[in-house]
Chains A and B, each alone.
Chain A
């Protein structure tokens, strides 16, 4: 098994850019796709990035994903922050038989 580690919280001002990291504990980050989900309070998660870098239709292009093999991590970057982006964000990946979620990052836009 492996773990995905995210920072507990990040904060940034409206209009700025924020990056949330997700580090895989074992196995290569590049060996299995990474997804990112946004969860607002009281709501179900919605997918904002899949297959490391792909945005589902309807997700603004302010959201982008990347992976970095040197640090064995994935990142979610949100540019032009809006107050509506304030939410919890979870990364997710897999291995041969399991799916794993990161612990989540609370994004505060202040």
Chain B
């Protein structure tokens, strides 16, 4: 069974960089697939942030592209998210999820439990 678990350092101050890791178990990310980040602001809907392929290629939401970096570490079976220059509007539950096996396959079939990141001074 594929399982994903988000982890991060906790609250973030405005203007700083939000950093999260997603550890995958039950599946070797070097085997393929896209790996994505999705967030959900309090009381709001789902918002795709970006995805990274097992080879390292990336795709980002146009609205966040200037602030987002995703990367993958196959040796640790992890992938990561960095969002710089955060504001209170970036306060959200951040989910990691497995994407499709090729870019035309846009499904997210396995999700982490989500982690709440609060941006506050």
Contacts and interface: CB of A to CB of B under 8 A. Distances in A.
> Interface residues of A toward B: which range?
20 to 34
B84 interface: no
Contact of B106 (A1, A33, A39): A33
Contacts of A93: 106
Contacts of B104: 32-33, 94
A26 interface: no
Contacts of A97: 59
A100 interface: yes
B109 A56 contact: yes
A99 B36 contact: yes
Interface in B67-121: 95, 99, 104-109, 111-114
Contacts of B51: 99
Given A44-B113, A44-B114, A50-B109, 5 more contacts: A32-B106, A45-B95, A92-B46, A94-B106, A97-B59
Interface of A: 1, 32-33, 35, 37, 39, 44-47, 50-51, 56, 88, 90, 92-94, 97-104
25 contacts: A32-B106, A33-B104, A39-B46, A44-B95, A44-B113, A47-B108, A50-B107, A50-B109, A56-B109, A88-B45, A90-B45, A90-B46, A92-B46, A92-B48, A92-B108, A93-B106, A94-B106, A98-B59, A98-B62, A99-B51, A99-B106, A101-B38, A102-B45, A104-B45, A104-B46
